[in-house]
Amino acid sequence: MGALSGRTALVTGASRGIGRGIAERLGRDGARVAVHYGTNEAAAKETVAAIEAAGGAAFPLGVELGRPGDAEALWAEFDRHADGVDIIVNNAGIGTAPALEEIDEAEFDRVFAVNVKAPHFIVQHGLTRLRDGGRVVNISSGLARTAVMPDKMAYAMTKGALDVFTRDLSKVLGPRGITVNSVAPGIIATDNTAGLLGTEEGRAQAAAISALGRVGAPADVADVVAFLASDGGRWITGSWVDATGGSLT
């Protein structure tokens, strides 16, 4: 029996990168995983297949976030497969944003719609489905606590807002025994960081930021999320968990 056997998890943005790593880990721990994707259905089905090949259970869930009614549409699709949820991982997000001098209002609104508004309303509309004793994990960023990349200001702002959401939501849901935490990755090797890590020089520079001297992998973040989702994480709530590999030290 896995640590999460009998539980149902929703992981947004789970078709690739960190989200896929989280979905696969929760699946290995016994959770039935709703693998959310925005547009890449094939990638989401690959994640589902990987979970099932490892002996787990999962189903794809396709809804593009950042549009009016996205949260209602997501839960309507979820309800076709499950009658409740124990773990919500708000991972989906736009992973970058143009610099202050370049970003326009439409781009600014879009990154906030996906990174902040969507998680807020996914939780709001999920409250009647989220079981007592459940877990909410929001994927933040080390950039919420450091100005090392000021050219990504708008993106960093969204993660700061998400952290405030985490803090206050923990007080709202605490009486139901539901924990709420932020997990903040540093530089993780995914297709989203391929441009940065595509050269030996770029990868070496990224590795040097970490106190551990390497670039992170999706599993490094997924293992932290899995702990918070387990019974072992029951006494941690309202916290910002540094999963940057010591990049902020």
**How many beta carbons lie within 10 A of that of residue 167, not counting itself?**
16
Residues 156 and 170: their CA atoms lie apart, in Å, by 21
**Alpha helices, DSSP H only, in the chain?**
17-28, 41-53, 70-78, 105-112, 118-126, 153-173, 194-197, 200-209, 218-229
- Residue of 59, 75, 155, 165 with catalytic role: 155
DSSP result, 51-98: HHHTT-EEEEEE--SSSTTHHHHHHHHHTTT-S-EEEEEE--------
Q: Is 37 a catalytic residue?
A: no
| Angle value at C-alpha 92, between 187 and 148, nearest 5 degrees | 30
Q: Cβ distance 1 to 175 under 8 Å?
A: no
Residues 117 and 90: their CA atoms lie apart, in Å, by 11
| Catalytic sites, residue numbers | 155
